[in-house]
Structure 1
Amino acid sequence: MKVEIKNEMIPLITEFVGGLPLVRKHSRFRRELIKMLSENYEKVEDQRMEIVKEHCEKDSAGKPIIKEKQYRIPEENQEKYQEDVTELMNEVYVIEGGNNRELIRTMRTILLKFENQEYQGKESATYDYLYEQFKVDENLEEEAENE
């Protein structure tokens, strides 16, 4: 039992699940999921900044040039920069079963609870993504037998 979440989806997921009206156990596991994802996204942002520094304009000493609190990526580095950032954002954060088994099961229950809710735009896309990644439509008993 595992869930794979693309780095690019983490901000949308934390915003989406943070807005769900939940209580008790469901609320606790939502907070745990948000904490896990947020900690991972901090690392992703650190890595993204390293990519920015790698591709930005540098002075004669090789230090990044910052203009108006921003790094400037020269035109000749734009393509490689975009490739590197895209690669980073497409990497997945994996939530393995084991200690997270109950979190995964509870998130499935939460997603099922909101299955008949009407969503639009990015909320709809985020809900569908979570539903697919948490494999909500799979039989939980069958999965437990297979482990």
Structure 2
Amino acid sequence: YPSRVFVGDTFCYYAGMTFAVAGILGHFSKTLLLFFAPQILNFIYSIPQLFKIVPCPRHRLPKFNPKTGNLEPSTIAPDSTRANLTMLNLFLVLFGPMPEKRLVQLLLAFQVVSCVAAFGVRYGLSSVFYDVVH
């Protein structure tokens, strides 16, 4: 373990800005925002820690257990049993400790389902959310 999939801040910033610029210049910023539903849910779920309502450690990524080879939810404090408020930790709490590969598969499946739902919203309910339907 070091992670091969969960990249650092620099790539996340670069990728996010690339999507934002493409959405703005392509005039589909509202549609693009629908594709970011998991990231928005992650932000909403993280708000209590981000605004210091719940203690927020410096690193909130899941912890690696070398004995089992699995990722386990990280906690808000070393002596706590409460998991950090991130989507990664939420999936580990809901589905239990798992290898990084399985966690990535679950998160990608969630992203795909979210994008399919976004297409449904964009084209199925477009008259509710958009002024002009093309």
Same fold (TM over 0.5): no
Specify which structure has the higher proportion of helix. 1
TM-score normalised over the length of structure 1? 0.32
TM-score normalised over the length of structure 2? 0.34
Higher RCO (CA-CA < 8 Å; seq separation 6+): 1
